[in-house]
A and B are shown apart, each in its own frame.
Chain A
Amino acid sequence: MDLTYTEEEEAFRIGLREWLARTLPMLPPKPDPLDWPARRTYDLGWQRRLYDAGYGEVHWGATPTQHLIFLEETEEAGAPYVGANFVGLLHAGPTIAAEGTDEQRARWLEPVVRGEEAWCQGFSEPDAGSDLASLRTKAVRDGDHYVVTGSKIWTSHAEVADWCELLVRTEPISPAAPKHRGISWLAMPMDAPGITVRPLRTLAGSAEFAEMFLDEVRIPVANRVGEENDGWRVTMVTLSYERGTAFVGEVVACRRTLGLLAAAARENGRWDDPVLRRTLGRLSAEFGALWRLTQWNVSEAQRTGGVPGTGGSVFKLRYSHARQELYEAAAEVLGPDSLDLAQEWTADRLSSLSYTIAAGTSQIQQNIVAERILGLPKGR
Chain B
Amino acid sequence: MKDGFRALLAGRFGREALRAAVGSAEEKERSLDRRLWRELGDAGFFALRLPEADGGVGLGLPEAVLVFEEAGSALLPGPLVATHLAAGEVKGAATGETVVTDVDGQLVEWLAEADHVRGDASGARAIRSVDPLTPLHRVGSAQTGISDAAVLLTAALQLGSAGRTTAMAVKYAGEREQFGQPIGAFQAVKHLCAQMLVRTELARAAVYAASVTGEGLDAAGAKLLADDAAVRNARDCLQVYGGMGFTWEADVHLHLKRAWVRSAQGPTAAQVEERYAAAL
Interface string of A347-380 (1 = CB under 8 A from B): 0000000000000000101110111011111111
Summarize B's interface: helix, strand, loop or mixed.
helix
Pairwise interchain contact B209-A284, C-beta atoms closer than 8 A: no
Look across to chain B and name the residue whose beta carbon is closest to the beta carbon of A362. B191
* A278, A280, A371: residue with the most chain B Cβ atoms closer than 10 Å: A278
Q: A281 and B275 in contact (CB under 8 A), knowing A318-B202, A369-B198, A374-B193? A: yes
Pairwise interchain contact B197-A3, C-beta atoms closer than 8 A: no
8 Å CB contact of A281 from B187, B208, B274: B274
Pairwise interchain contact B62-A366, C-beta atoms closer than 8 A: no
8 Å CB contact of B205 from A293, A363, A365, A369: A293
8 Å CB contact of A293 from B185, B202, B218: B202
Across chains A and B, the number of contacting residue pairs, with CB separation under 8 Å, is 138
Pairwise interchain contact B170-A375, C-beta atoms closer than 8 A: yes
Complex-state Cα separation, A289 to B195, whole angstroms = 16
Q: A370 and B191 in contact (CB under 8 A), knowing A285-B224, A285-B276, A379-B186? A: yes
Pairwise interchain contact B190-A376, C-beta atoms closer than 8 A: yes
* B62, B194, B213, B275: residue with the most chain A Cβ atoms closer than 10 Å: B194
Pairwise interchain contact A282-B224, C-beta atoms closer than 8 A: yes
Write the nearest CB–CB distance from B253 to chain A, whole angstroms.
23
- Interface size of A by CB at 8 A reads 42
8 Å CB contact of B280 from A1, A281, A311: A281
Q: Does A97 contact B (CB under 8 A)?
A: no
Write the nearest CB–CB distance from B252 to chain A, whole angstroms.
17
Pairwise interchain contact A378-B225, C-beta atoms closer than 8 A: no
Interface string of B191-216 (1 = CB under 8 A from A): 10111011001110110110111000
Pairwise interchain contact B194-A370, C-beta atoms closer than 8 A: yes
* A261, A282, A286, A378: residue with the most chain B Cβ atoms closer than 10 Å: A282
Pairwise interchain contact A259-B280, C-beta atoms closer than 8 A: yes
Write the nearest CB–CB distance from A209 to chain B, whole angstroms.
28
List residues of chain A with CB within 8 A of the CB of B212: 1, 3
List residues of chain B with CB within 8 A of the CB of A280: 276-277, 280
Complex-state Cα separation, A281 to B166, whole angstroms = 27
List residues of chain A with CB within 8 A of the CB of B225: 285-286, 289
List residues of chain B with CB within 8 A of the CB of A331: none
Q: Does A207 contact B (CB under 8 A)?
A: no
Complex-state Cα separation, A289 to B220, whole angstroms = 12
Q: Does A330 contact B (CB under 8 A)?
A: no
Complex-state Cα separation, A282 to B224, whole angstroms = 8
Q: Does A314 contact B (CB under 8 A)?
A: yes
Q: Does A234 contact B (CB under 8 A)?
A: no
Q: Does A277 contact B (CB under 8 A)?
A: yes
Q: Does B127 contact A (CB under 8 A)?
A: no
Write the nearest CB–CB distance from B209 to chain A, whole angstroms.
4
Jot down 21 A-B pairs with beta carbons below 8 A, ordered by A: A259-B280, A277-B273, A277-B274, A278-B277, A281-B273, A281-B278, A284-B277, A285-B206, A285-B224, A288-B206, A289-B222, A293-B201, A295-B209, A296-B208, A366-B190, A370-B184, A370-B190, A370-B193, A370-B194, A375-B174, A377-B174
Ranked 5 nearest A-B pairs via Cβ: A379-B185, A281-B277, A281-B273, A370-B190, A262-B280
A interface residues, Cβ below 8 angstroms from B: 1, 3, 258-259, 261-262, 274, 277-282, 284-286, 288-290, 292-293, 295-296, 311, 314, 317-318, 363, 365-367, 369-371, 373-380
